[in-house]
Amino acid sequence: MTRYTHADFTDDDSVNSVQLTEGISTSATHIRYHAGTSIWKQRTMLEKALLVLIATLFFVIVVLTIILHSAEHRIHESRIIHVQSGDNLPCLNKSCVQIASNILSAMDLSVDPCQDFYSYSCNGWVKANPIPDGKSTWGTFMKLEQQNQLVIKHVLEQPIENLKSKAEKKAKMYYESCLDVNDTVEDLGAEPMHALLKKLGGWSITDSGFNPKNWSFQHLVQMVQNKYNVGALFSYMVGEDDRNSSRYILQIDQSGLTLPTRDYYLNESEHSKVLEAYLDYMTKVGVLLGGEVNSTKEQMQAVIDFETRLANITTPNEMRRDEESLYHLMTLAELRQRAKFLDWRAFFENAMKIVGRKVNQKEKVVVYAPEYLENLSSLIKEYQSTPEGNITLNNYLVWQTVRVFTGCLSKAFRDAYKGLRKALMGSEGGEEPQWRYCVQDTNNVLGFAIGAIFVREVFNLDSKTQAEEMINNVRNAFKANFAKLKWMDEDTRKAAVIKADAISDMIGYPEFIRDPKQLDDRYDRLEVRSDTYFENNLNINFYNLRKNLEKIREPVNKTTWSMAPSTVNAYYTPTKNQMVFPAGILQNPFYDPTFPPSLNYGGMGVVMGHELTHGFDDQGREFDKDGNLNHWWKNKTIVLFKNRTKCVVDQYNKYTINAKNVNGNQTLGENIADNGGLKAAYHAYLTLMKDRPEPETLPGLTLNHKQLFFVAFAQVWCSTVTKEAMSLQIEKDSHSPARFRVIGALSNLREFGEVFQCPAGSPMNPKNKCEVW
């Protein structure tokens, strides 16, 4: 249960959480820009003559292009500003030419920007970047991630004595275990899983000692959850109390489905191929572990039938957006009365032994899905009434554990997943080099050790200072807009300003990663070897469980990070009222200290505005300046707010791709953040440039810098996706598809229509616009 919100859609590449994010291409070259006429005056006569000649050639090319395509461009030629000769020459140094080339190559100038700004900005990129073999999606985010991976690979493959800390050495050992440099994984085959099955009490599918007479449902649930950290039937964690964010508390929520959403089970007509592939995957794994084909298939079908029953009692995510209605505080004794399928005191006593804590019946827990747990009690009671039902319950719980760790076994087990991945995402995967998977896996496991490497190798420390200035500018623009919102009452407006000022920001990396001792202390209790990949992952799951449980009874540290520094992403945490921008995203094309402000604010500025707006979206607005779930808005203002969010829901509900509609309710928070972030960043840019001269234009680009701001924003989202992966994104993700993140936000921004002189009523400048912030 994640209590923070990402800027883009990102998950790991597993069945339960399929990778959907893509990324951003970047160059390691810092591109320098020159502005004004002083540089021109300093040039020699020969330099001036050569520059005039070059400018003239550019001008001729532009004019010829206009003539050749005049009929095609007649609609929108008047909306863009053309390159001038004389004193208004564009920037003509090498860097400006390179960046202009990158922007131009991604664009499609045959498209009217007032008709479809995404296609106008990205068609060239899409045409030049087909999805690589083995991938289901490809975009600018993923390109940047792959560049970051190269940096990390270079360091991890150096001699171990070159690394700066024990934590970094553990990262190297884990990386080597993933690469299987000694062929240990292949030599062991299914042996590690057989040993795990025996510890779990056996599996009726294989010859692993399962005995129904000795079987205990309570004991197995505790083993699965409290030893192997696998969320079966439900999930739990120690997190900040939504109503008192200064303390940690136990939290319980619905969980337990293997496929990405409940709809895959309940809409069988649409998802029959996925269900068939899922059964085939389960059967292959069971057979590889020694099961007989027909018996394995029959028992696995019973597990799918059980998961379908779970799906029936699971509440869809789009109906779980009201944080206040989800919050239910109760004691373990009260939970026992509502969810009788488990002795909750015994369960949490078993968990807390790990960290030397005790619990009693009065221990407080927050339950986010009480109705689900009540219905689960009835479902489990029904299954426990027959021997066959108990076998299915055992098979389900063991399967949830098995599937988590099959990726740590030999190639045959990893290949078994390809058919399901193909059905879900349109690609079998596995085509990229193993080292890329292992770098990402190591980053997931030892993210702060990898972060220390990444920051040391490539992060420009000056970026922290400059990014802080940009955040403050965006924050000021966001606050200034409050005065223009007629739907807000004065008291709520004043409180909103206070909350915006209270949002803390973390940039680049947490300071502790630069201190080897503090970094080593963090991973001190994690045991890693270079030849035990399966055991490494068992250790990591238990280490993560221990780190989470250690927080109980401790004061909340609101400066902790939940994301590795090399990650190409950002997030906002409502209970901390905190934004985090890792070093991984503070790179070209999101951000470069030497870029003109139009590109930096159109890229990174919008990301900052997006995260800031999350504090005021339909969920974030329920938390006050201290991160507490609190009714701090006037009721009348809440009603007017909800009327405006309904406009956003209706707008995005109408967007379709591959004959599937975007879910406006499911994506509401991200859509509000996209719209508010774009507006705040643009106005921050205008304020910044108010008393500054217009920077030199870029060669060959008939765009001024206000227009470049919007192109930079759009090109962050250039991407290509398989039909299956797009369907999965629409089903599961809280973010709209990239095309609609661009079109939706821009078409609501009045200033965009003005800058590109789009006629009122055109697709990118509709007469009726949605505005929340």
* Domains by residue range for the chain, with CATH: 109-151+438-756 (3.40.390.10), 190-409 (1.10.1380.10)
Dihedrals φ, ψ of 199, to 5°? -65, -30
CA distance 759 to 741: 21
pLDDT at position 429 is 73
Identify which of 515, 616, 678 has the alpha carbon closest to the alpha carbon of residue 165.
515
- According to DSSP H, which parts of 8-113 are helical? 38-42, 45-68, 70-73, 94-106
pLDDT digits (tens, 9 = 90+) for 441-479: 999 999 999 999 999 998 888 888 889 999 999 999 999
pLDDT at position 3 is 36
pLDDT digits (tens, 9 = 90+) for 113-136: 999 999 999 999 999 999 988 888
Identify which of 571, 444, 719 has the alpha carbon closest to the alpha carbon of residue 2.
571
Please name the helix (run of DSSP H) or strand (run of DSSP E) that holds residue 585, with its range, or none. Answer: none
3-state secondary structure of 614: helix
pLDDT at position 89 is 76
Identify which of 767, 754, 762 has the alpha carbon closest to the alpha carbon of residue 79.
754
3-state secondary structure of 245: strand
Point out the catalytic residue in the list 116, 611, 624, 670. Answer: 611
The edge-to-edge listing of strands for the beta sheet with 5-6 is 5-6, 571-573, 578-582, 504-508
Tell whether the model's pLDDT for residue 537 goes beyond 70. Answer: yes
pLDDT at position 428 is 78
Tell whether the model's pLDDT for residue 546 goes beyond 90. Answer: yes
pLDDT digits (tens, 9 = 90+) for 397-440: 999 999 999 999 999 999 999 999 999 988 877 667 889 999 99
Tell whether the model's pLDDT for residue 678 goes beyond 50. Answer: yes
Q: Percent helix, strand and coil across the chain, each rounded to 5?
A: 55, 10, 35
pLDDT at position 88 is 66
CA distance 229 to 231: 7
Burial of 560 (0-12, 13-18, 19+ CB in 10 A): middle
Point out the catalytic residue in the list 168, 441, 674, 731. Answer: 674
How far from chain centre, in Å, is Cα 218? 34
pLDDT at position 430 is 66
Please name the helix (run of DSSP H) or strand (run of DSSP E) that holds residue 580, with its range, or none. Answer: strand 578-582
Q: How far lies 554's CA from each of 251, 332, 548, 557, 573, in Å?
A: 15, 20, 11, 9, 19
Dihedrals φ, ψ of 5, to 5°? -120, 130
- In this structure, are residues 117 and 714 in contact, taking their beta carbons and an 8 Å threshold? yes
- Average the pLDDT over 185-198 and give the result: 95
Catalytic-residue membership of 241 = no
Dihedrals φ, ψ of 119, to 5°? -65, -40
Catalytic-residue membership of 611 = yes
pLDDT digits (tens, 9 = 90+) for 221-243: 999 999 999 999 999 999 999 99
pLDDT band at 98 (very low <50, low <70, confident <90, very high): confident
- Average the pLDDT over 583-601 and give the result: 89
Tell whether the model's pLDDT for residue 567 goes beyond 90. Answer: yes
Tell whether the model's pLDDT for residue 93 goes beyond 50. Answer: yes
- Average the pLDDT over 145-153 and give the result: 92
pLDDT at position 21 is 30
Identify which of 420, 403, 481 has the alpha carbon closest to the alpha carbon of residue 683.
481
pLDDT at position 50 is 39
